[in-house]
Chain A
Amino acid sequence: MTTLLDPTGERRPAERPRAPRLPALAGKIVALLDISKPRGNVFLDRFAEQLTARGATVRRYTKPTFTKPAPPDLRKRIAQECDAVIEALAD
């Protein structure tokens, strides 16, 4: 693991800030990322219904395997195509 020394004036917490939260779901594009665990799709189908009912557009993505981080290309695609992402665990 790499450790870096903070180059700043240390006036803010060292954690990377979270991306800003969406003010509302209506009109937004939400990614549903199936991490390829069994029954993840069941969980996400229900999300899709709820989100659609709230006026969001849903796009579905699937990770090749739940044992490894999402490939960089997939992460980049989701970031480019969507406003938010929900990542499913299930079993």
Chain B
Amino acid sequence: MVDAPPRLPEGLVAVVKRDCPTCGLVVPVLGEIAARGQALTVYTQDDPSFPATIAPRVDDHELVVSWHHRIETVPTLLKVEDGREVARTEGWSRADWEQLTGVSPLGAGLPAHRPGCGSRSVDPDLADALRARFEGDRLKARRIELGAIEDEIETAYDRGWTDGLPVVPPTAARVLRMLDGTRRAPGEVVAVVPPDLVPVTVEKVAINAVMAGCKPEYLPVVLAAVEAACTDAFNMHGLLCTTYFSGPVVVVNGPIAAQIGMNSGVNCMGQGNRANATIGRALQLVVRNIGGGVPGGIDRAAFGAPGKYTFCFAEDEAGSPWESLSVERGFAPGASTVTLFSGHGPSAIVDQISRTPESLVRTFAAKLRAVSHPKLVMAMSAVLVVSPEHARVFAAAGWNKARLRKELDALLLLDGDEITRGAGGIDEGVPAELARGRRLPKFLGPDLAIVHAGGTAGMFSAIIEGWVSGPRGSQLTTQEVRP
């Protein structure tokens, strides 16, 4: 809050509205107090002529005093000394009013207690607009005044702010509400966003989160995703520039996922869940609007992928036989994290017959081998998303995640003679001098991540194929979600 609250007059201050029966009830009491020579000022929220018998009355229908002094109930009676509130009582309580005013007896013939009514300054229909009016100074973003016939949805398109779908217009009221989702200050710099390398504040992320359709409680996840995306390891710049398909994929771990209602089960990579849909979208809008990463500009993807609108889901930790991706990556159990992967997809692994891990792991390996090209190795990354029905096969046989990984590594050690250029009648492949006579791993160690998610019916798993891995491409990047 930038403005100092308007100074209250000395003595007793009552805040009332005509539309409140309890306020009507206490009008004679206010008269008694004034008659005893107490300094009394009445602020009226709705009808400036109410209460007609009391003076001085101050018109507060614009709610400046009520809002700044956090009046929640009418009547509220305040005691003010040296410009500062020293006592407050809400509604009508004879004992409390007598104690606060020092006048006794008060309100003979009235009931001892009567609850008050809601202050207009907290009326849900008004509260957002009041906040925007009185707290708008907290927001530093440039204001854009729309013309009288300018449609707010259309203008977002005209100004290049959207990913092709409509965005929620980022008004001050909505952005202030979004900022309630984090304890971080609006002006805090979150990251420097490629490709234009523009510092982005919490406020600017909140604006884009509003546009994406996020709820305030999603904001900490969006902030963590932005932080992770803008690291050198993740390399958002390179991911934008590439002609390849991939975009940022966000995997959420920890209690935050359930707290904000994320989907880790049925259709978790599909449509229909607001948190999944809007968190991934908010990240992409930040990259577009703050970073300037626009398709056809810096974004040179030959095809792109539908996941570049949004690609975000939670790991199903509760149903998983294994430690989560987050724990595997060194975070404490119970920590909430986002892990960013540069990927696209998913592509399907079908195996409805295998009931032993030895058989099922061979299915996984056969499909993983085809990531990018069956004859290319040590370049691309992947996330293997194991479904509950497949994970059960491994769990029943006592395979932990490390065992699955070890077996996959062994099966994905490819015969150099099979993958050399020209082998199998395919020119693409590994140069002969690197491949011939050797066995080469499909993935370098950290480039294959394993996650548990998906609906409980369906003997399928999924591969999210990735872009170039390692320091010259994009590395899996995990960031803790902070409130």
Contact B146 A4 (CB under 8 A): yes
Contact B198 A4 (CB under 8 A): no
Given contacts A7-B207, A11-B196, A2 and B159 within 8 Å (CB-CB): no
Contact B170 A4 (CB under 8 A): yes
Given contacts A16-B158, A16-B159, A5 and B198 within 8 Å (CB-CB): no
Contact A4 B193 (CB under 8 A): no
**Of B39-47, B256-264, B272-280, B289-297, which stretch is located at the interface?**
B289-297
The residue in chain A whose Cβ has the minimal distance to the Cβ of B172 is A5
Interface flag for A1 (CB, 8 Å): yes
Contact B171 A5 (CB under 8 A): yes
The residue in chain B whose Cβ has the minimal distance to the Cβ of A10 is B142
- The contact of B289 among A3, A7, A16, by CB within 8 Å, is A7
Contacts of A6 in B (CB 8 A): 141-144, 207
The distance from the CB of A41 to the nearest CB of chain B, in whole angstroms, is: 26
Interface flag for B94 (CB, 8 Å): no
Interface flag for B374 (CB, 8 Å): no
Contact A9 B198 (CB under 8 A): yes
* Bound-state Cα–Cα, A8 to B169, Å: 13
- The contact of B285 among A7, A11, A14, by CB within 8 Å, is A7
Q: Which residues 177-202 of B sit at the A interface, judged by CB distance below 8 A?
A: 193, 196, 198, 200
Given contacts A9-B193, A9-B289, A3 and B171 within 8 Å (CB-CB): yes
- The contact of A4 among B158, B169, B196, by CB within 8 Å, is B169
Given contacts A7-B285, A9-B291, A69-B149, A2 and B198 within 8 Å (CB-CB): no
Interface residues on B, range: 20 to 34
Given contacts A9-B196, A9-B292, A1 and B146 within 8 Å (CB-CB): yes
Interface residues on A, range: 10 to 19
Q: Scoring B residues 199 to 215 as 1 if CB is less than 8 Å from chain A, else 0, what string do you get?
A: 01000100110010000
Contact A14 B144 (CB under 8 A): yes
The residue in chain B whose Cβ has the minimal distance to the Cβ of A69 is B149
Interface flag for B175 (CB, 8 Å): yes
Contact B152 A4 (CB under 8 A): yes
Q: Which residues 5-59 of A sit at the B interface, judged by CB distance below 8 A?
A: 5-11, 14, 16
* Bound-state Cα–Cα, A6 to B144, Å: 6
Contacts of B3 in A (CB 8 A): none
* Bound-state Cα–Cα, A48 to B43, Å: 66
Given contacts A11-B198, A14-B144, A5 and B152 within 8 Å (CB-CB): no
Interface flag for B161 (CB, 8 Å): yes
The distance from the CB of A63 to the nearest CB of chain B, in whole angstroms, is: 14
The residue in chain A whose Cβ has the minimal distance to the Cβ of B197 is A9
The distance from the CB of A5 to the nearest CB of chain B, in whole angstroms, is: 4
Contacts of A4 in B (CB 8 A): 143-144, 146, 152, 155, 169-171
* Bound-state Cα–Cα, A69 to B161, Å: 26
The distance from the CB of B132 to the nearest CB of chain A, in whole angstroms, is: 9
Q: Scoring B residues 158 to 169 as 1 if CB is less than 8 Å from chain A, else 0, what string do you get?
A: 110100000001
The distance from the CB of A70 to the nearest CB of chain B, in whole angstroms, is: 10
* Bound-state Cα–Cα, A6 to B155, Å: 12
* Bound-state Cα–Cα, A8 to B147, Å: 19
Interface flag for B148 (CB, 8 Å): yes
Given contacts A11-B196, A11-B198, A16-B159, A5 and B143 within 8 Å (CB-CB): yes
The distance from the CB of A27 to the nearest CB of chain B, in whole angstroms, is: 27
Given contacts A9-B193, A9-B196, A3 and B292 within 8 Å (CB-CB): no
The residue in chain A whose Cβ has the minimal distance to the Cβ of B175 is A5
Contacts of B80 in A (CB 8 A): none
- The contact of A3 among B159, B172, B208, B211, by CB within 8 Å, is B172
The residue in chain B whose Cβ has the minimal distance to the Cβ of A9 is B198
Contacts of B196 in A (CB 8 A): 9, 11
Contact B161 A2 (CB under 8 A): no
- The contact of A5 among B139, B200, B285, by CB within 8 Å, is B139
* Bound-state Cα–Cα, A84 to B158, Å: 18
Interface flag for B145 (CB, 8 Å): yes
* Bound-state Cα–Cα, A10 to B148, Å: 23
Q: Scoring B residues 232 to 267 as 1 if CB is less than 8 Å from chain A, else 0, what string do you get?
A: 000000000000000000000000000000000000
Q: 30 interchain pairs (CB within 8 A)?
A: A1-B146, A1-B148, A2-B169, A3-B145, A3-B146, A3-B171, A4-B169, A5-B143, A5-B144, A5-B170, A5-B172, A6-B141, A6-B143, A7-B141, A7-B161, A7-B170, A7-B204, A7-B207, A7-B211, A7-B289, A8-B161, A9-B289, A9-B290, A10-B141, A10-B142, A11-B196, A11-B292, A14-B144, A16-B155, A16-B158
| Further pairs besides A5-B142, A7-B141, A11-B196: 9, Cβ < 8 Å | A1-B146, A1-B148, A2-B145, A2-B150, A2-B152, A4-B144, A5-B171, A5-B207, A9-B292
